[in-house]
Amino acid sequence: MNEISIKDLIKLDNPNIIDIRDNYTYNLGHIKNAKNIPYYSLLSNYSIYLNKNDTYYLYCNYGKQSLEISNRLNLFGYHTFYIKEGYLDFKNKNI
């Protein structure tokens, strides 16, 4: 499965984190160093944003949308994981 927990993510050295929520929600709060590429922008233009040689960690609020887009991108040959707890769990745990 292409999932990662928030606790395992923070152990990584300089991960490529992508917040797929809309710009407004991203600006209200996000994981440190996460790049904001909204869901539909990423899905429509993934070849512009992603490199097949890199690994990416995607998140949304709950994990459902990031799971869906991660699975699609992996089918296209990209290396992605979704953060299974999502941003709201991250925020509630104050990690």
CATH number at residue 89: 3.40.250.10
> pLDDT at residue 17 above 90?
yes
Q: Is the pLDDT of residue 1 over 80?
A: no
In this predicted structure, what is the pLDDT of residue 90?
A: 83
H helices of the chain, in order, are: 6-9, 23-28, 39-49, 64-75, 86-93
Query: How far apart, in whole angstroms, are the C-alpha atoms of residue 14 and residue 69?
Result: 22
**pLDDT at position 91, please?**
80
Q: What is the tally of structural domains in the chain?
A: 1
pLDDT the model gives residue 3: 95
Tokens 């994990």 correspond to: 63
Query: What is the average per-residue pLDDT within 11-36?
Result: 96
Q: Could you tell me the residue range of the domain that residue 70 belongs to?
A: 3-93
List Cα–Cα distances, 43 to 3, 12, 27, 29, 50, in angstroms: 18, 25, 20, 22, 11
For the entire predicted model, the pTM comes to: 0.94
For the chain, what percent of residues have pLDDT higher than 70?
97
